[in-house]
Amino acid sequence: MKWRLIMMALTMYGLTGALNAEQQPVHRDRLPSEIVRRAATYATDLTFPNHPETSADVDPPRMALLKPAGDGPFPAIVLVHQCSGLNPAVLAWVRRAISRDYAVLLLDSLTARGVTSLCHGPKAGVNLIRGTRDVLQAAQFLRKQSFVDGERVALVGFSWGGMIGLLASSRHYVGALESGPGFAAVVSFYPGCFRITPPNGQPFELVNSDIAQPLLVLMGEADTETPAADCVRNLDPIKAAGAPVEWHSYPYATHCWDCQHLDGFRKIDVRGNEVAFTYQQTVVDDSERRLFEFLDRRLTRP
């Protein structure tokens, strides 16, 4: 009965877990491997686009495989959206990556599954664990492309996608999902770093102590949806223990600081917090610099 309740609770995994986020040091709780594998089956696998495009003009945004001009092999990025799916801000990051000679798989975990938003919790089986398998499978797909350097595949995620990045940085979750070796580097923009406690289920951390691959976390100090303080508190002891983790927080930056299409938008989030989005070009420019400096440094061949 206990295991059945845990399995039922997995349907709640996602941003709804923030309702029970605890303001205390993390305890490194993690889900057993069998629970992780089961949770990843609640939605079917994605079908990735086979035809590479050389133009980042995919408007409206859609799942796409994009590459710079030439044969490569290029370093590559799996790029993951926020909880509301693909949008102009994500597409802008694709253009930035292509201009710097990165191949990109622009992932869409929602549309093919009939989902429009995960901002109030998982739907149609699309939860954080399923999302983590999506990105691992996407990395395996990229490694099979002749124009991709399979040893230089990174993950870049935003908000929900950033939370996926935290889980995809964990040796435990990568191993449990049995979907390839993971990423050479991960960058998470304004992720939630809280502890998730589903009703009647087993708590688990988004930030885990077994991070083995380089991880960069970029946060805003005025973010009331996924507070930077949660990440700093949870990442600091992991970094002190020797994990390859680094981060930067921007004073006055809100959640989704790169979302020009949401500039001035206000909402009440799933935890009841009032959230305001403010587009900040200076933060976008600096986060772009930090992102690609990190990837260039971490994806350099020996």
pLDDT tens by residue, 122-166: 899 999 999 999 999 999 999 999 999 999 999 999 999 999 999
Q: State the pLDDT at residue 54.
A: 80
CATH for 2-298 (2.120.10.30, 3.40.50.1820, 2.40.50.140, 3.90.1150.10): 3.40.50.1820
Distance in angstroms (rounded) separating the CA atoms of residues 183 and 165:
10
Instruction: Encode pLDDT of 214-256 as tens digits.
Output: 999 999 999 999 999 999 999 999 999 999 999 999 999 999 9
Distance in angstroms (rounded) separating the CA atoms of residues 286 and 249:
11
pTM above 0.85, yes or no: yes
**Any idea where the domains of the chain sit in the sequence?**
2-298
Give the DSSP H or E segment for 275. Answer: strand 274-276
Q: How confident is the model at residue 24 (pLDDT cuts 50, 70, 90)?
A: very low
Average pLDDT over residues 89-98: 96
Ranking 23-37, 172-186, 262-276 by mean pLDDT, the lowest is: 23-37
Q: Kindly report the average pLDDT of the chain as a whole number.
A: 89
